[in-house]
Amino acid sequence: MPVRTAFTLADLERDCHIEHGCHTLDGRALGLRITVPAALQARYPYNASAYAFLQQLREAIFSYGTIEFPGLPVNPCNHTLAQRAPEQHRYSANPYLTDYCQAPHQDTPPWPTAFWLGERRRYFATWVVSRTGLARFADHTRSHPAGTLEDAHRVLVPESLAHGSGLLLNREPGLLLLDNSEHRRLYHARTADFAVLAHTPRPTAETPLYAFNEVGLLHYIDSLDERRGPQDRDAGDLALTRAFMVAEGLAG
């Protein structure tokens, strides 16, 4: 079993440049952006699995809402999903893989989620909204019962960016840690860049966005994508995650 040495945000502050309040939603600052020097990216903890970051930085994720590590090379160990272009997932019945857009949601509240991207995405992004943005989404969909999710996103995503109730993340390479609790009241959804899609209406490939959360890893990793296969699985990391969840009273 690999060793997962404890680390804190203070440990990272000694090594890295950290930007506080890098985003604003509803007039509230949130988020940390942690830039890891290139010389340290292959060293622990910066080469750790997403679960090490989720577990060691849980309180910081709760406090800041989002923590980003721009450009940090992907470690896909035990990912729960690898979202590509919908055309690449036509074999699947899971709308998280096959749909262009999603309704804003929280993955596994109150446990956070990690997203890791190796290269820039061309067609898709993660739309993060506040409670205000969520309420606007609900009002809009009630008022337009015949509309599709794509119709709603065409209107609401640019509106939320203009009004300060939404963000677009997971477009550039790096690791994102995202709070799923009600502390920051953040909700997220897959969205499409419709301006780009106007020129490539059905993209056949997209950079995989790896998603990670403990509940998915322990309970439904194989049901999320029936063609996921055995690659990038690590039994030792799974055992460490299970032990952490049990010790925290988060799993049986």
* pLDDT tens across the length of the chain (252 residues): 466 889 999 999 999 999 999 999 999 999 999 999 999 999 999 999 999 999 999 999 999 999 999 999 999 999 999 999 999 999 999 999 999 999 999 999 999 999 999 999 999 999 999 999 999 999 999 999 999 999 999 999 999 999 999 999 999 999 999 999 999 999 999 999 999 999 988 899 999 999 999 999 999 998 899 898 888 999 999 999 999 999 887 765
Residue 109 is assigned to a structural domain of this protein:
yes
Predicted TM-score of the model (pTM): 0.95
Which residues does 13 contact at the CB level (< 8 Å), separation at least 6?
none
Residue 83 is assigned to a structural domain of this protein:
yes
Residue 172 is assigned to a structural domain of this protein:
yes
Residue 164 is assigned to a structural domain of this protein:
yes
Whether the CB-CB separation of 177 and 67 falls below 8 Å is answered with yes
Residue 238 is assigned to a structural domain of this protein:
no
| Integer Cα distance of 203 and 200 in angstroms | 6
Residue 217 is assigned to a structural domain of this protein:
yes
Residue 237 is assigned to a structural domain of this protein:
no
Q: Please report, for the domain that includes residue 59, its CATH number.
A: 3.60.130
Whether the CB-CB separation of 72 and 36 falls below 8 Å is answered with yes
Residue 102 is assigned to a structural domain of this protein:
yes
Domain total of the chain = 1
The parent domain of residue 52 ranges over 9-228
pLDDT of 229 reads 87
